[in-house]
Structure 1
Amino acid sequence: MELRESWAALAAGGVAGVCVDLILFPLDTVKTRLQSPQGFRKAGGFRGIYAGVPSTAIGSFPNAAAFFMTYEYVKSVLHHSSTSYLTPVTHMVAASFGEVVACLIRVPSEVIKQRAQVSPSSSTFRILSHTLYHEGIQGLYRGYKSTVLREIPFSLVQFPLWESLKDLWSWKQGHVVDSWQSAVCGAFAGGFAAAITTPLDVAKTRIMLAKAGSTNASGNVLAALGGIWRTQGLSGLFAGVVPRMTAISLGGFIFLGTYEKTRQLLL
């Protein structure tokens, strides 16, 4: 991948990430509170719907930029050595590498954001200080494994589906899709991927919000899923599925559409 393409991927990814995270933040807060162990009302209900937004504002650009730089780089490397029928596998591998790298930035931001979302009376800085004092840097990375285990299956579904829908639409109309068409494909791919990975998202939320020293704080995803299943059943595993699907469908539309448009303008 050329240097110009790398910078375009970095800038386009960062701009897209900031746009989608800030626009859809209220929906994300509702989803987090629905998934929290104390329940929606005790977690804040509809109060302080922008609690935790500073953490998202700071982490959004570098997180999305890191993902798309890695995604485009790995995709370009693998495309040289793969045949056409392996293209979906190329997109899966590229997206997986992208998520592993992006989560190094995303997880600390997500931990602080989610704790602020369920404690709207505490400031983001206070929550950051409290986490560092009581848990150290390790506390900021609590849930890294569960986040990666959520994001990789999500990307394995979303990105090959997005790329395939774009290819199909391009073939149907006889030319490459426009940015708004890419956005529509992104909305469908994101919503579908969001629905089927919701249990992993619930487990990740419980791990990040768990009190230090508790069972969930250990970060065991299977144990978290088992605990939710035993206490709340299927409805617990799919808590927040509607706002998650809504947010990610809209997010896919804004995120992937903005990414394509910004990248086209820069190139």
Structure 2
Amino acid sequence: MSSQDPTFIVSLLSGGAAGTAVDIALFPLDTLKTRLQSQAGFWKSGGFRGIYSGVGPAALGSAPNAAVFFCTYDTIKRLGLPLVSPQYAFLVHMSAASIGELAACIARVPVEVVKQRRQTTARHLSALTVAKQAVRKEGFRGLYRGFGSTISREVPFSIIQFSLWEAMKSKLARMKGVDQVDPALTSLCGAVAGGISAGLTTPLDVAKTRIMLADSQPTGSIFGVLKQVHSEKGIQGLFAGLVPRVMWISIGGAVFFGVYEFTKVSISNLS
């Protein structure tokens, strides 16, 4: 089996390892970003206190979330790339990333709802209590508050990130005269791709955070939320949390893709 052609099980294990490594290691930056984006403001949402609030649900959900994404992503790549010429490979990468995110969000959104409320308005409550409150107020759909806005953020983010990541890896491989770059260069490509994607999609992340933290109050469409944020705080409000988000996802991209590639190669070499 080639390391370039991971099986379902390899994708499952590699994706799970990568997701867990990132979410646990960089959780404080995610907390700071969420509090900066909260309507209540950074200090009222907790400031620098309890920056590991919500790490439990994040740790619980990170492995299945990333595993579902990479199983979908790698499967679509494996099936789709032989059907197109190399110059159109980016279309397969974009499609694989989009469908992968749609699948992953089924596992991700309930975790995000509980995690972000524990990071801000419910810091002293357990994850189970926060989940029960969401269900009591809105029914089961309370755990999926912000599903649409999460999709609206994740799909363009992943299209940009994975297209850049794949393109940079291919470019470096051609420059070095090899079929595939090593995990260290894969990690570097992930950091650059993640940082660019994070910066460009920050307004969508702000809207998603506002919607998820809104309890049962209606929030309107994602564009309505963006319009409200702009009227309250201008362009600065739309890019609230930009620095920690870019830092978090740049470092996270390096860890995520590095761990993913290292785990994939290691498992493949054992078989």
What is the TM-score with the length of structure 2 in the denominator? 0.95
Paired with 1:57 and 1:30, the residues of 2 have a C-alpha distance of: 17
CA distances 1:149-200 after superposition (whole Å, capped 9, x unpaired) = 1001001110010011111111111122110110000000000000000000
Conserved in 1, the CA contact under 8 Å of 2:109 and 2:143?
A: yes
Runs of 4+ in 1 over 6 A off after TM superposition: 1-4
Q: How does 1:24-173 map to 2 (within 5 A)?
A: 24-118=26-120, 119-173=122-176
Number of equivalenced pairs: 264
Conserved in 2, the CA contact under 8 Å of 1:47 and 1:120?
A: no
Cα drift, residue 80 of structure 1: 2.0
Cα drift, residue 4 of structure 1: 6.8
Paired with 2:60 and 2:166, the residues of 1 have a C-alpha distance of: 29
CA distances 1:86-131 after superposition (whole Å, capped 9, x unpaired) = 1111100000000000000000000000000003222222211211
Structure 2 unmatched runs, 5+: none
Q: Name the SS for the 2:7 alignment partner.
A: helix
Cα drift, residue 213 of structure 1: 2.6
What is the TM-score with the length of structure 1 in the denominator? 0.96
Cα drift, residue 211 of structure 1: 3.2
Cα drift, residue 76 of structure 1: 1.2
Q: Name the SS for the 1:213 alignment partner.
A: coil
In structure 2, the partner of 1:226 is 227
Structure 1 unmatched runs, 5+: none
Matching of residue 188 in structure 1 with residue 197 in structure 2: no
Backbone CA RMSD of aligned residues: 1.4
The one-letter amino acid paired with 2:155 is I
Identity %: 48
Q: Which moved more, 1:82-91 or 1:198-207?
A: 82-91
The one-letter amino acid paired with 2:241 is G
2:204 to 197, 200, 203: 200
Q: Name the SS for the 1:110 alignment partner.
A: helix
Q: Which moved more, 1:225-234 or 1:237-246?
A: 225-234
